[in-house]
């Protein structure tokens, strides 16, 4: 099997519009989750904090020079991160179009951020909005494909909140199986009334800033953003700059409940264990875990139990959900970028708003920015439908 390296990455989130901006904000412990959502009118705008990307859709469309109609915020967040990633990897437009370049994107919201347009189109109230082909999840990647005239394998994956971890995995497998020479992989999601009201109906949205792994946690905050990585094979590197190696990945199912993880976190345990096995690493070699850490009562305790079961004494860990909110289909990709930043810079970023360890598990996340040797980072993503995925990135 070919070794797979990350040669470019791009990210946009509530704490910055580029990898460099996100890096500075992580170091400084910036919290981008705030009340005052202004993307669309919602009764929750003033009541709940959100991790909104600080650039309007109109501004982003202009910046990206998009003139075609029917392009959603989910798609342009994706394109913004995609452009940064391919630029960083030095991939030419010709290479992007090549039949040897695959693109795998994940998202869960698609064009459903357009509440009123979708409402009217679904009820055939008018002649149809400009977005009638943009509501489904595939529309985002069909847009990226069209925009870049891509001839390689294109895919869209939706495994809820673990979607973009699976997109990274699928891209790596396409390369290892000879379906692609390189892969551009990632995920995107924009804030939407749909997800806000959905998670609110489940009573798992916190009215305050979320507090991952804290005994007093009251639920998650929603965020938005996108991230893409460029994956290339060892034999094609030709001395180019490499950010990290993707050494392990595993997808397992918790097979317990549609919207919560089993008490003992068996699915998360299997995903982490499988990723270690593929990376051919023992548990003690993991220096840091970028936890899923949504700050819901269910996730943080079950994830802690799974970490204890596998690692006995878990390594340093933290969640960045308090910095940017839960970005759903983008989370796995954004956190892959954050994991790689830890590897490149040999440093860990603080888990914000933590006060007291969960009584039942007693674990304390990283609380301050610190320099430390980081050779292997594990990144966890778990989703509805019991979908659990873990990735391992290693220092080069």
Partner 1 sequence: MYIHKTYCISPQQDPLQADINLLNEPVNKKLLAIEPSYKKIPPGILRRMGKSVRMGVGTALPLMDKEKSVDGIIIGSANAGMDECINFLIQIVDYEEGQLTPGNFVQSTGNVIAGQLGMISKNKGYNITHVHMGLAFENALIDALMQLNANPTNTYLLGGVDEIPPYQYNIETLNDAYKKEDISNKVLYESDSSGCLPGEGAAMFVVHAEKDGAIANVKAIHTVHTNDVDLVKQQLQLFLQKNMEAEEAIDLLISGENGDKLTLPFYTACESLLNADTAVVRFKHLCGEYATASTIGLWYACQFLQNQEIPSHMLKKESSNKKYRNILMYNNFKGGQHSFMLVSGI
The footprint of partner 1 (CB under 8 A) covers: 42-44, 99, 108, 112, 115-116, 118-119, 121-124, 127-128, 132-133, 135-139, 141-142, 145-146, 150-151, 153-160, 166, 170, 173-174, 176-177, 179, 193-194, 197-202, 251-259, 266-267, 270, 383-387
Residue with tokens 């003992």: 264
Supply the minimum distance, in Å, between the C-beta of residue 168 and partner 1: 13
Q: Which residues contact 35 (CB under 8 A, 6 or more apart)?
A: 45, 46, 47, 48, 49, 50
Rg of the Cα atoms in the chain:
19
Nearer CB in complex with partner 1: 174/331:
174
Do 195 and 222 form a contact (C-beta atoms < 8 A)? yes
Phi/psi for 83 (5° steps) reads -60, -45
Supply the minimum distance, in Å, between the C-beta of residue 183 and partner 1: 13
Nearer CB in complex with partner 1: 45/55:
45
Supply the minimum distance, in Å, between the C-beta of residue 137 and partner 1: 5
Supply the minimum distance, in Å, between the C-beta of residue 154 and partner 1: 6
Supply the minimum distance, in Å, between the C-beta of residue 211 and partner 1: 23
Give the burial class of 38: count Cβ atoms within 10 A of its Cβ; 0-12 exposed, 13-18 middle, 19 or more buried.
exposed
CA distance 217 to 206: 8
Supply the minimum distance, in Å, between the C-beta of residue 383 and partner 1: 7
Q: State whether residue 46 is helix, strand or coil.
A: coil
CA distance 354 to 49: 17
**How far is the CA of 384 from the CAs of 86, 156, 199, in angstroms?**
31, 17, 11
Nearer CB in complex with partner 1: 219/350:
219
Supply the minimum distance, in Å, between the C-beta of residue 138 and partner 1: 4
Nearer CB in complex with partner 1: 276/318:
276
Residue 208's CB is within 10 A of a number of other CB atoms, namely 15
Nearer CB in complex with partner 1: 56/177:
177
Supply the minimum distance, in Å, between the C-beta of residue 63 and partner 1: 26
Nearer CB in complex with partner 1: 141/320:
141
Could you write out the three-class secondary structure of 109-151?
Answer: CCCCCCHHHHHHHHCCCCCCCCCCCCCCCHHHHHHHHHHHCCC
Supply the minimum distance, in Å, between the C-beta of residue 384 and partner 1: 5
Nearer CB in complex with partner 1: 103/352:
103
Do 384 and 198 form a contact (C-beta atoms < 8 A)? no
Nearer CB in complex with partner 1: 365/383:
383
Nearer CB in complex with partner 1: 54/133:
133
The strand ranges marked E within the chain are 4-12, 50-51, 101-106, 154-157, 182-189, 222-223, 225-233, 244-253, 288-290, 316-318, 347-348, 370-371, 376-382, 387-394
Residue 207's CB is within 10 A of a number of other CB atoms, namely 12
């Amino acid at each position: 099997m070919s070794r797979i390296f990350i040669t470019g990455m791009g990210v946009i989130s509530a704490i910055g519009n580029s990898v460099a901006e996100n890096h500075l904000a992580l170091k400084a412990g910036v919290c981008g989750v705030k009340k005052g959502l202004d993307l669309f009118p919602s009764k929750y705008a003033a009541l709940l904090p959100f991790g909104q990307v600080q650039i309007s859709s109109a501004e982003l469309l202009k910046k990206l020079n998009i003139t075609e109609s029917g392009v959603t915020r989910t798609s342009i967040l994706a394109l913004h991160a995609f452009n940064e990633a391919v630029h960083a990897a030095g991939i030419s437009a010709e290479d992007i179009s090549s039949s040897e370049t695959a693109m795998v994107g994940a998202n869960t919201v698609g064009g459903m951020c357009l509440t009123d347009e979708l409402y009217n189109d679904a009820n055939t109230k008018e002649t149809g909005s400009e977005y009638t082909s943009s509501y489904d999840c595939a529309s985002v990647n069909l847009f990226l494909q069209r925009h870049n005239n891509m001839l390689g394998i294109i895919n869209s994956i939706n495994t809820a909140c673990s979607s973009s971890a699976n997109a990274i995995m699928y891209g790596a497998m396409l390369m290892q199986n000879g379906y692609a020479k390189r892969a551009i992989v990632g995920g995107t999601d924009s804030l939407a009334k749909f997800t806000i009201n959905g998670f609110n109906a489940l009573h798992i949205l916190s009215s305050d800033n979320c507090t991952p792994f804290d005994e007093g946690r009251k639920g998650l905050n929603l965020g938005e953003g996108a991230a893409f990585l460029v994956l290339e094979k060892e034999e094609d590197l030709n001395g180019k700059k490499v950010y990290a190696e993707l050494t392990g990945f595993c997808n397992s199912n918790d097979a317990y409940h549609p919207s919560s993880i089993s008490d003992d976190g068996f699915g998360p345990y299997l995903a982490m264990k499988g990723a270690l096995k593929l990376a051919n690493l023992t548990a003690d070699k993991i220096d840091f875990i970028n936890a899923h850490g949504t700050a819901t009562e269910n996730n943080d305790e079950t994830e802690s139990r799974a970490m204890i079961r596998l690692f006995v004494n878990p390594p340093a860990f933290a969640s960045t959900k308090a910095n940017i909110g839960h970005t759903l289909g983008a989370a796995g990709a954004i956190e892959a970028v954050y994991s790689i930043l830890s590897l490149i810079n040999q440093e860990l970023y603080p888990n914000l708003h933590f006060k007291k360890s969960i009584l039942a598990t007693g674990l304390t996340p990283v609380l301050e920015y610190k320099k430390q040797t980081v050779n292997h980072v594990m990144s966890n993503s778990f989703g509805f439908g019991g979908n659990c995925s873990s990735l391992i990135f290693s220092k080069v």
